[in-house]
Amino acid sequence: MNLYELTVNDTEKIALNDLFFSAENKAALAQTIKEHQYLEELKKYDLKADHKILLHGHSGCGKTTTAKAIATALNKNIVIINLSTLINARIGETSRNVKALFDKAIREKAVLFLDEFDQIGKSRDSEDKDVGEMRRLVNTIIQLIDYFPADSLLICATNHYHSIDTALLRRFQIRLKFEMPDENQLDLYYDKLLERFPSHLQDIPRHYNISYAEAKDYIHTLMKKQIIAELELAHKKNSV
């Protein structure tokens, strides 16, 4: 499989202030971004910016959006890889593909975002059908992470934190947990989503006990139905 078939160069710009997650997570990311903005100044004191971040927790709660926001704040390109696709390509070539992706991010001084990190970072003690291959792969990843330069940024995401090898977990300077939003957090998110639509369409039933991604899909599906219904009604009136 071609390297570029495994990557997504995403150009979406997302501001850090637009993220909906805990104040602790936001503060940690703000500090990391400042460190990278003052990278050269910190080097004078032999200080390195934190540049290895693990995002873990529930699906649909903002991990990918967070990676994009970090890239936006640092004015860097982001290279997104879904690792389940990479693993399924050919397991014998996985280590080579992973190294090529790291090399690409290093050349571009980009943000490398590895989604579904558990697909290649499984514990070497796991009962995998190809334990030898997985052990070699984890060893390769450890080496790649250890030598990943500070002027690039590695962000990994997983929904299965406890399946990742402990030696890999220790490599991440920052580990942020993403939890399901409560009703107040979802209300703030609904308000943000709805503010762009006409006021008469905003009074809708709100669903709770769902992720941010599910809430967004719900609002967009409902709004499309309402907007199209209004357009068709107006069309019928004009046709009379």
Contact status, residue 77 vs residue 71, Cβ threshold 8 Å: yes
Residues 74 and 105 in one domain: yes
pTM (2 d.p.): 0.82
Rounded Cα gap, residues 37 and 32, in angstroms = 9
- Give the range of the structural domain holding residue 85, as residue numbers without chain letter: 3-178
Same domain, 19 and 41: yes
pLDDT (tens digit per residue) in 133-185: 677 778 888 899 999 998 889 999 999 898 888 888 999 999 999 989 999 99
40 and 121 inside one domain: yes
Please say whether the beta carbons of 210 and 216 come within 8 A.
Answer: no
Give the model's pLDDT for residue 10: 55
Report pLDDT for 193: 93
172 with 190, same domain: the answer is no
Helical H runs in 38-92? 39-43, 63-73, 83-89
Structure confidence at residue 54 (pLDDT): 95
Domain count, the chain: 2
What is the spatial distance between Cα 131 and Cα 182, in angstroms, rounded to a whole number?
40
Q: Are residues 109 and 228 in the same domain?
A: no
Examine the fold and report which residue of 178, 195, 214 is the final residue of a domain before the chain moves on: 178
Same domain as 187, residue 169: no
Q: Which value, in Å, is the radius of gyration of the alpha carbons in the chain?
A: 21
Residue ranges of the chain with per-residue pLDDT less than 70 = 1-12, 87-92, 121-133, 240
Classify strands 78-82 and 7-10 as parallel, antiparallel or unpaired. antiparallel
109 and 199 co-located in one domain:
no
Give yes or no: residues 84 and 99 share one domain. yes
